[in-house]
């Protein structure tokens, strides 16, 4: 299991049995009920995860359960957001950051909403600033994740039933792990040399880690289906053989994985070296290697690369390091190049070799 997922589950196991403010449920009951409502509404894994973790800030501080009774606003939404943004993308972080503001928003815009709030929620509303003003409503509606925050808030308000039966927190591990993959968001302009956009643009929309795994499976199927007599085929003089193309994919991935490592570790002193693919290809001989042996190496490499990329926090995925060419690279840009580069060569193989 992913280390971040295990850490989150451990938080609930060790600290989730404290009472949820003045309500009749525990922290873990409240979280599980909210996430269950989100699942029933066919919410995305990211929004299910956000709903499960929206009050994780309460598990990260040592204030007493009755802090609101003492006039203390624990600002748990900000504490939670700071914790989550090191692991997740904005699809998870922003609804969590905004869920308290969403209560204030609904109090101002939805007739009868405030009257249906529980007594502890009314008490905390006063500490949180009360219903929004018209100007605050307009500002809130301009935020990109405000609608998700409002949906989360509705499930939050419902998740206070001491009799409700839910699955255990472990049942949501897959949603959490899927949402971690979203931490590698598509890079923005300026996060790599423009040349590499030709690869990045080949990567489809969706969860990055799921796409990475699918590309691994497609590559294996493609090479495994090739007849033995094709493996040393070159479509023109001086071009690589099919086995040399596979070796090139692995050499390039190793270089790119190193670049992702440097960027994600935020090494501001490093300068990423160039890679001359012709030099690399000229100094490796695959003629005596079996395809089975090379694919075994490919699987080992992809497994290692996936582990590296899947555990890069969102906040570190955007950090820029300098390349020898003068361009800047982020870890997430490199991650997308890795997938796009494989897709590019699969296309070339299909068009020119088979």
Q: Looking at 9-18, 120-129, 161-170, which range is the least confident one?
A: 120-129
Question: Which of 158, 181, 204 delimits the end of a domain?
Answer: 181
Report the distance separating Cα 275 and Cα 272, nearest Å: 9
Domain for residue 106, yes or no? yes
Greatest alpha-carbon span in the chain: 80
Question: Which of 154, 181, 208 delimits the end of a domain?
Answer: 181
Report the distance separating Cα 307 and Cα 260, nearest Å: 12
Give the CB-side neighbour count of residue 51, counting CA atoms within 13 A.
Answer: 32
Report residue 71's pLDDT band, with 50, 70 and 90 as the boundaries. Answer: very low
Report residue 278's pLDDT band, with 50, 70 and 90 as the boundaries. Answer: very high
Mean pLDDT calculated for residue range 100-106:
94
224-275 pLDDT, tens digit per residue, is: 999 999 998 888 888 999 999 999 999 999 999 999 999 999 999 999 999 9
Read off the pTM: 0.66
Q: Between residues 223 and 129, which one has the greater pLDDT?
A: 223
Give the CB-side neighbour count of residue 114, counting CA atoms within 13 A.
Answer: 15
Report the distance separating Cα 50 and Cα 95, nearest Å: 7
Asked whether residue 147 falls in the same domain as residue 269, the answer is: no
Asked whether residue 153 falls in the same domain as residue 251, the answer is: no
Asked whether residue 301 falls in the same domain as residue 328, the answer is: yes
Asked whether residue 48 falls in the same domain as residue 146, the answer is: yes
Question: Which of 127, 148, 181 delimits the end of a domain?
Answer: 181
The confidence score (pLDDT) of residue 70 equals: 37
The confidence score (pLDDT) of residue 313 equals: 81
152-197 pLDDT, tens digit per residue, is: 999 999 999 999 999 999 999 999 988 876 668 899 989 999 999 9
Asked whether residue 270 falls in the same domain as residue 237, the answer is: yes
The confidence score (pLDDT) of residue 181 equals: 62
Mean pLDDT calculated for residue range 109-131:
88
Domain for residue 188, yes or no? no
293-339 pLDDT, tens digit per residue, is: 999 999 999 999 999 998 888 888 999 999 999 999 999 999 999 99
Report residue 118's pLDDT band, with 50, 70 and 90 as the boundaries. Answer: confident
Q: Between residues 342 and 66, which one has the greater pLDDT?
A: 342
What CATH number does residue 348 fall under?
1.20.120.450
The confidence score (pLDDT) of residue 265 equals: 96
Cα distances (Å, whole numbers) of residue 209 to 73, 216, 230, 305, 336: 38, 11, 31, 11, 10
Look at residue 127 and tell me whether its pLDDT is greater than 60: yes
The confidence score (pLDDT) of residue 259 equals: 97
pLDDT-above-70 percentage for the chain? 94
Look at residue 214 and tell me whether its pLDDT is greater than 90: yes
Look at residue 75 and tell me whether its pLDDT is greater than 90: no
Asked whether residue 164 falls in the same domain as residue 206, the answer is: no
Q: Collapse the DSSP code of 339 into the 3-class scheme (helix H, G, I; strand E, B; otherwise coil) and give the result.
A: helix
Domain for residue 220, yes or no? yes
Asked whether residue 201 falls in the same domain as residue 291, the answer is: yes
Domain for residue 186, yes or no? no
**Domain that residue 343 falls in:** 194-352
Residues ≥6 apart with Cβ < 8 Å to 182: 46, 88, 89, 91, 92, 207, 208
The confidence score (pLDDT) of residue 69 equals: 42
Report the distance separating Cα 57 and Cα 98, nearest Å: 13
Asked whether residue 161 falls in the same domain as residue 302, the answer is: no
The confidence score (pLDDT) of residue 120 equals: 82
Domain for residue 189, yes or no? no
Asked whether residue 213 falls in the same domain as residue 336, the answer is: yes
Look at residue 74 and tell me whether its pLDDT is greater than 90: no
Do strands 320-323 and 328-330 pair parallel, antiparallel, or not at all (unpaired)? antiparallel
Asked whether residue 10 falls in the same domain as residue 113, the answer is: yes
Q: What is the total count of domains within the chain?
A: 2
What CATH number does residue 75 fall under?
1.10.3210.10
Asked whether residue 336 falls in the same domain as residue 285, the answer is: yes
Report residue 124's pLDDT band, with 50, 70 and 90 as the boundaries. Answer: confident
Domain for residue 18, yes or no? yes
Asked whether residue 151 falls in the same domain as residue 245, the answer is: no
Residues ≥6 apart with Cβ < 8 Å to 33: 25, 155, 158, 159, 160, 161, 164, 166
Domain for residue 342, yes or no? yes
The token duo for 113 is 């909403």
């Amino acid at each position: 299991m992913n280390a971040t997922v295990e850490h989150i589950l451990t938080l609930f196991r060790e600290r989730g049995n404290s009472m949820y403010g003045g309500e009749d449920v525990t922290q873990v009951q409240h979280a599980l009920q909210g996430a269950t409502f989100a699942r029933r509404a066919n919410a995305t894994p990211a929004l299910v995860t956000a709903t499960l973790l929206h009050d994780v800030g309460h598990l990260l501080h040592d204030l007493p359960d009755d802090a609101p009774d003492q006039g203390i606003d624990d600002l748990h939404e900000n504490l939670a957001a700071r914790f989550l943004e090191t692991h997740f993308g904005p699809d998870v972080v922003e609804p969590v950051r905004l869920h308290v503001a969403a209560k204030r928003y609904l109090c101002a815009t939805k007739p009868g909403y405030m009257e249906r709030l529980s007594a502890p929620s009314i008490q905390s509303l006063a500490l949180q600033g009360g219903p929004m003003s018209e100007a605050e409503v307009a500002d809130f509606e301009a935020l990109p994740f405000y609608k998700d925050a409002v949906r989360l808030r509705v499930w939050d308000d419902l998740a206070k039933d001491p009799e409700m039966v839910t699955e255990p927190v472990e049942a949501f591990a897959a949603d959490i792990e899927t949402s971690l993959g979203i931490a590698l968001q598509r890079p923005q302009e300026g996060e790599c040399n423009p040349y590499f956009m030709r690869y990045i643009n080949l990567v489809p929309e969706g969860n990055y880690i799921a796409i990475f795994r699918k590309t691994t499976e497609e590559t294996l199927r493609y090479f495994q289906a090739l007849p033995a007599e094709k493996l040393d085929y070159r479509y023109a003089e001086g071009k690589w053989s099919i086995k040399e193309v596979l070796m090139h994919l692995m050499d390039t991935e190793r270089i790119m994985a190193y670049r992702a490592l440097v960027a994600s570790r935020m090494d501001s002193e490093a300068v990423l070296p160039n890679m001359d693919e012709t030099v690399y290809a000229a100094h490796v001989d695959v003629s005596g290697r079996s395809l089975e042996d090379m694919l075994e190496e490919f699987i080992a490499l992809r497994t290692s690369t996936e582990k590296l990329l899947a555990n890069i926090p969102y906040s570190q995925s955007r950090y820029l390091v300098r390349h020898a060419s003068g361009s800047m690279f982020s870890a997430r840009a490199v991650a997308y190049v890795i997938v796009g580069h494989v897709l590019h060569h699969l296309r070339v193989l299909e068009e020119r070799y088979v």
